[in-house]
Amino acid sequence: MTVYAIIGGTGLTQLDGLTITAALHLDTPYGAPSAPILKGEYAGHEVLFLARHGHPHRIPPHQVNYRANLWALREAGAKAIVAVNAVGGIHAAMATGRFCVPHQIIDYTSGREHTFYEGELEHVTHVDFGQPYDAELRNKLLDALHACGADFTDLGVYGCTQGPRLETVAEIARLERDGCDIVGMTGMPEAVLARELALPYACLALVVNPAAGKSGKAITMAAIERVLENGMSQVKTVLARVLTS
């Protein structure tokens, strides 16, 4: 039976029928993860949760200890990871409130600890990252979204920026020219670290705002939080289906 780990916000643990059985305070060779890993049981299935930005939400995207997070999840028994991400919509199809299950990613970040393969190594290791998201896990997310009647797109290129600031209009125009459909700040190096640990990984992205220059209006955190609040019920319904698939 696959043990799924969910990386996202603390609200994801509020699934009807979920019982939290333990809070695992793990240390790793890379330091402490963002928060204790919550271990739970849902419909007879073991599941793990990790709050990417800490609990309370206090760690900015460029300071998340991604290596510690992924290492700790593997040590806790995770066999596959579903990452929940709030993103901005670049492509016209990525409307606010819509879900996207991206199939590709472009990394625009800098200065992040992005690999386990460094330091005093016995040999250099290269991992295949041509297809950054696991196909089987992506299909489970798509099936769950379809079954829930959610509004979603089944393909998308995720542009990952450094943050914590939002992007300029010119930067979004550049990302669009590069082929990005959505933009976020936490997709990398999370995805490649999962690949280095041989953990199947897929992303469930919720579009929470039009990217800079796409609406003619200023982006406000209040508006983003309203979309997040409305979308979280669907996120939890989708996750519940994946956990029992």
Per the annotation, does 209 bind a ligand? yes
Instruction: Give the number of other Cβ atoms within 10 Å of residue 31's Cβ.
Output: 13
**Terminus-to-terminus CA distance in the chain, angstroms?**
10
Q: State the pairing for strand pair 80-89/182-184.
A: antiparallel
Per the annotation, does 186 bind a ligand? yes
Of 17, 8, 88, 93, residue with least CA distance to 48: 8
Per the annotation, does 60 bind a ligand? no
Contacts of 230 (CB under 8 A, 6+ apart): 97
Q: Specify whether the CB–CB gap between 82 and 185 falls below 8 A.
A: no
Per the annotation, does 210 bind a ligand? yes
Strands (E), the chain: 4-8, 18-24, 37-42, 45-51, 80-89, 99-100, 104-107, 152-153, 157-160, 182-184, 201-210
Per the annotation, does 53 bind a ligand? yes
Question: Where is the binding site for substrate, in residues?
Answer: 185, 209-211
Residues at the binding site are: 10, 52-53, 185-186, 209-211
Which residues contribute to the annotated binding site for phosphate?
10, 52-53, 186
